Amino acid sequence: MLPRTQYVNELIRLKDNGRVKIITGLRRSGKSVLLFELYREHLLSAGVTPEQIIGIQLDDLNNIKYRNPLELDKYIRSRITDAEKRFYVFIDEIQLVAGMQNPYVDDREAKITFVDVVLGLMKIKNADIYVTGSNSKMLSSDILTQFRDRGDEVRVFPLSFAEFYDAYEGDKREAWQEYYTYGGMPMIIGMDTHERKSRYLRDLFERTYIRDIIERNKIKNDDEVLGILLDVLASGIGSLTNPSKLSNTFKSERNIPLAPDTIDKYLGYFEDSYLVQKAVRYDVKGKKYIKTPSKYYYTDLGLRNARLGFRQIEETHLMENVLYNDLIRRGFDVDVGVVEITTMENGKKVRKQLEVDFVINRGNDRYYIQSALSIADPEKKKQEIASLLKIPDSFKKMVVVKDFLKPWRDDNGIQYVGIENFLRDESILLG
């Protein structure tokens, strides 16, 4: 069993803090194992008895009755039997709890939801509540308002490269290629052939993620369109796009009329399901956000590659995607940077925009990162660092390359580091 140390430590830090712990992330990324096995094991080792841990997994058909919020509440309260003991309540896939009309109120708009269940359970002084969910809408603005100052989110990602590397039992020199090809879904680690991995990832996409999106959002007759949109995003990771541009692509390449508003809605569904993540642009000099276009990255590259039949394995963009995911996992806010410059061409001033792959922030700290396959060629190096040299501040600037190399710094203060070192040693960025 993989230790998932980052997330276990986070739950230990939040234990008994009087707030609900909300564990979110892509389905099959390890949320249930984290809570029901790893964290449960920690509690037991700390002296908690099995009777003090109340767990229910709502995606198990044996527990379908408890998707009714009143039945769920009744069941959990029936298990809290001793006011002198501390109880730990685990509810898995809580978004499956259906909203229902309040039977005691003559108002069709009066609904009882999982929010009411959780808020009620939190009032039990000897109960510590943990819930998991695979849909970010459980953290929508309305629900967050009700959970304000009462909840902590723990976002679980597929395996990071560092976790994957430690668990990988083959030649460690092949771990990076395996990772950017098959991704970090935990089940992949135990599979030994391309056929098994490919089949697992394809089935996961079709039978779990797409079906979830269709059923949750009540989409009719647009299965093909959803698939095409996912393919377009998969082909274009690392490229700037927006709903209007995607609408034009559907019309010109597929002869399918699809309004930008519809595409925007579908993109939101993908983000809600944690399949893809959106990175917006930030004007470094102007210190403002640029609403459109944006970039979309897949939360797991194995899923992305399986979507395209493992036909487009361009390491440049895959590196960029891996870096984005890892920086988000580390808790940074990550944007795509833009540096505007003015040059003279044929005697005229011309404005140009140079891109910084990532502008990352955490508190008062900021870092600028470029992703590059190689900087061995002087012209290529000059091209990669052009935007970094134009940034008018003293925050740390870094180029992450595919090559194995010892971290070093040039005369401009720009640091260079190999991708594997960067992903396995988080202190490199902070040092």
Residue 364 sits in a domain whose CATH number is: 3.40.1350
What pLDDT was estimated at residue 108?
86
Q: Do 243 and 378 sit in the same domain of this protein?
A: no
Q: Is residue 145 pLDDT above 70, yes or no? A: no
Mean pLDDT across 28-38: 96
288 within some domain: no
Closest CA to 153 of 325, 330, 25, 18: 25
pTM surpassing 0.85? yes
Torsion, Cα 26 422 409 237, to 10 degrees, reads -40
Q: Do 176 and 104 sit in the same domain of this protein?
A: no
Q: Do 253 and 340 sit in the same domain of this protein?
A: no
Query: 342: pLDDT confidence band, cut at 50, 70 and 90?
Result: confident
Mean pLDDT across 397-409: 92
**Mean pLDDT, the chain, as a whole number?**
93
Q: Do 353 and 307 sit in the same domain of this protein?
A: no
87 within some domain: yes
How many domains is the chain built from? 3
Q: Do 182 and 302 sit in the same domain of this protein?
A: yes
What pLDDT was estimated at residue 314?
86
CA–CA dist 185, 193 (Å, integer): 15
Q: Is residue 185 pLDDT above 70, yes or no? A: yes
Which residue, 104, 120, 155, sits at the end of a domain?
A: 155
Q: Do 266 and 370 sit in the same domain of this protein?
A: no
Q: Is residue 139 pLDDT above 70, yes or no? A: no
What CATH number corresponds to the domain at position 109? Answer: 3.40.50.300
Q: Is residue 143 pLDDT above 80, yes or no? A: no
What pLDDT was estimated at residue 142?
54
Closest CA to 128 of 37, 24, 14: 14
Mean pLDDT across 388-400: 96
Mean pLDDT across 390-398: 95
285 within some domain: no
- Higher pLDDT, residue 78 or 215: 78
Domain span holding position 100: 5-155
Q: Do 88 and 224 sit in the same domain of this protein?
A: no
Q: Do 132 and 16 sit in the same domain of this protein?
A: yes
Q: Is residue 165 pLDDT above 70, yes or no? A: yes
